[in-house]
Amino acid sequence: MKLSSANINVMVKACRKAAKTLIRDFGEIEKLQVSLKGPGDFVTNSDKKVEKILIDELQKSRPDYSILSEETGFINNNDEFKWIIDPIDGTANFLHGIPHFGISVGLEHKKEIICGIIYDPIKDEMFLAEKGNGAFLNNHRMRVSARNKLKDCMIFTGGPKQSAKDKGLSLEEYKKFSLILNTPIRKMGSASLDMAYVAAGRCDGFVQRGLKYWDIAAGIVLIKESGGYVTDFKGNGNYVKDETIIATNSKINEEIIGVLNK
Q: Quote the pTM value.
A: 0.92
What is residue 34's predicted lDDT score, i.e. its pLDDT? 44
Assess whether pLDDT exceeds 90 at residue 46. Answer: no
Q: Which domains does the chain have, with CATH numbers?
A: 6-141 (3.30.540.10), 150-260 (3.40.190.80)
Amino acid at 230: V
pLDDT in tens, 68-104: 998 888 888 888 999 999 999 998 898 888 999 999 9
pLDDT in tens, 110-153: 999 999 999 999 999 999 999 999 999 998 999 999 999 988 89
> CA-to-CA distance for 1 and 141, rounded, in angstroms?
8
Q: Given 3-state DSSP classes, what are the helix, strand and coil percentages for the chain, each rounded to the nearest 5?
A: 40, 25, 35
**113, 218 in Cβ contact below 8 A?**
yes
- Residues contacting 170, CB < 8 A, separation 6+: 159, 160, 164, 208, 209, 210
